Amino acid sequence: MHGLIFSITIAFNGVCHNDYYSTNDNYNKTHGSGTITYLTYYGTGSKLIFFQLLSDIPCCLFFSYISIELPILFFKRIRSRKLRVKQLTREQKHLLHSLLPDSAESQYVKNLFRLTNINISINRLARLSQSIYTWRNDFRFSSRVLCIYASIFCLLFFLTLQVSCVQIPPFLGALRIKLQQFINLLIIFIIQGDYNLQEIEDSSSDFPIPDLVRPYLIAIFTALIVIFIPITCFIKISRRVSSRNIDYAYENIHFGGYLISYVLWCYILVAFFVMIIGVMIDIIITYGMVRFIEAILKKIIPLLLFAIFQIYMNKILAQYIFLQQGGDILSINHRSIMMIFLYFNFFLDAFLGLISSIIRVLTNMIGGIIYMCRLDCSSMGRKLETLEAGSSAYCGFIHMECAHRHPILLYFTSILLHEHLYRTSTTR
C-alpha cells in the first residue's frame, strides 16, 4: 500500500505544473487576473516556464534520492535475512558503526593523538570553498540538523524564487502608485490643511517615489547574504547545569521550529529595512536632494568629529602619560594627573553617555534583526539570555547533542558493546 502511494506521489509530482498559468476553472473564478498580470509583466516568452523549471529542481532531487535509497534499503533487508546475520537493534548497529576505521568517531579519536596538519591549497577556488566550509573526516552532522538546514534552504529557495522574485515584482508598480498618492495626500494635508482627491491625482509631488523593483531585488539578495553568513557558524555554548536537565530536554524539542521561524522573520525584516534604505538612496541619487542631506550632515558631523576626537585623545593620553612604558604593561603612571583628568572628563562623559545610550539601543535593534537567525547570539546579553526562548532552545539542543553524540563517548561505548556481544560469546 505504501509503495502504491509512493508511486502515485512520484507520478503526480513528475508532471509539469503551471503555477503561473491558471487552469480553466481558476480562470473562470478569478477572470484570469493573475495570469494577465504575469503575462503583462514578463511577456509571453519562456521566462515563466524557466522560473517554473527552477522551482521544480529541489522536488526532483528529493524524489530522485528517495527513489534510489528505498530500493537499496529493501535490498539490504532481503540480503540480511538470507545471510541470517545476527539480529541487532538499531541502536546497536549505530554504536558498532563507530568502530569502523572510516567512521567519524574513530577518526576523531585518532586525531587526538596526531599533530594538526592544515594543508593550505594553492588553488584559489579550493581556498574559497574552504573559507565557506571545511570538510572534516572526524565530524558529521546529525540527521536532525541536516533535515532542519535542508528545510531552511528549501524554504528560502521557494520563498525567494516563487514569491519574492516572480510573484511580487509585477505588483510593485501598483504599490508605487498607492504610496505616491499617500505621500501627496500627506503633503497637502500638512501644508494646506485640507485635501481634495482630484487635486491629489493631478498634482505632481515634490517627493516622487522612484521605481521599486531595483531596491526590492537588492533587498532580497542582501537578506539572503545576511542569513547565509551567520547561520553557518554557531560558536557560543553555555555551560551545562545538572539541575536543568528537564529544561534542556524540553527546550531541545523546540529547536528546529524556532530556528526556521527565526530565519524566516530575519529574511522578511532585513529585506524590508534594506528596501527602505535602498528607496531613500535611490530618491537622493535620482532627484538630487542635496540640501536635505546637507542639513542632516551639518548636525551629525560635528558630534561625530567631537566623539572621535575624544576617543583618540584618551587613547594617546592613556598610552604616553597614564601608563608606563608606552602601554606595554598595565601600570599607572602620573596618578595625580590622571585623577584630575578623570574629574573634568566625568562631566563630558555624562553628555556623551546620553548619545552612547541612544546608539546602544539602535545597535541592539539592528544587531537583533541581522543576527535573529543566530540562536546562539541572544539580543538580551549575558545573564538574561535564558529569558529568550530561541537561545534557550539552542542551549537545550547543544547539551542534548553533546550528551548523546560525543565522539569519544560513542567510540568507548562501541568498544564495550563489541566486547559484550562477540568476545563473551566466543569465550564461552
Question: How many angstroms separate the CA atoms of 400 and 245, rounded?
Answer: 9
pLDDT for the residue 129: 61
* pLDDT tens profile 374-421: 777 777 766 677 777 877 888 888 888 887 788 888 888 888 888 888
Closest by alpha carbon to 55, among 135, 154, 127? 154
* CA terminus-to-terminus distance, the chain: 46
Q: Which cell numbers in the block locate residue 2? A: 505504501
Q: 238 vs 127, 249, 382, 383, CA distance in Å?
A: 32, 15, 10, 11
The Cα–Cα gap between 8 and 123 comes to 47
- Burial letters 154-190, b for 16+ CB under 10 A, else e: eebeebbbbebbbbebbebeeebeeebeebbbebbee
Flag whether 201 is in a domain.
no
Find the mean pLDDT for residues 33-55. 77
Asked whether the beta carbons of 234 and 148 are under 8 A apart, the reply is no
pLDDT at 238: 58
Q: Is residue 2 part of a domain?
A: yes
Q: Which residues of 30-60 are buried (b: 16+ CB within 10 A; e: fewer)?
A: eeeebbeebbebbeeeeebeebbeebeeeee
Q: How many domains does the chain have?
A: 1
Between 228 and 381, residue with greater pLDDT: 228
- Residue 261 in grid coordinates: 521561524
Q: What angle do helix axes 245-253 and 255-287 make, rounded to 10 degrees?
A: 60
Give me the residue label for grid cell 521599486. Answer: 212
Position 424 confidence tier, pLDDT thresholds 50, 70, 90 = low
C-alpha cell of residue 216:
526590492
Asked if residues 163 and 187 have their Cβ atoms less than 8 Å apart, the reply is no
Q: Cell 500627506 identifies what position?
A: 186
In a domain, 212, yes or no: no
Q: Is residue 61 part of a domain?
A: yes
Is 134 domain-assigned?
no
Task: Cell numbers for 331, please give them.
Answer: 601600570
Contact in structure between 43 and 172 (CB atoms under 8 Å) = no
Q: What is the mean pLDDT of residues 293-298?
A: 82
Task: Flag whether 18 is in a domain.
Answer: yes
User: CA 193 to CA 296: how far, in whole Å?
Assistant: 27
User: In the structure, what pLDDT confidence band is assigned to residue 428 with cuts at 50, 70 and 90?
Assistant: very low
pTM of the prediction? 0.69
The answer to whether position 154 is within a domain reads: no
Q: Which three cell numbers stand for residue 236?
A: 557560543
Q: Is position 60 within any domain?
A: yes
Query: Which class for 315: exposed (0-12), middle (13-18), buried (19 or more C-beta within 10 A)?
Result: exposed
* Residue span of the structural domain in which 24 resides: 1-67
Number of CB atoms found within 10 A of residue 294's CB: 9
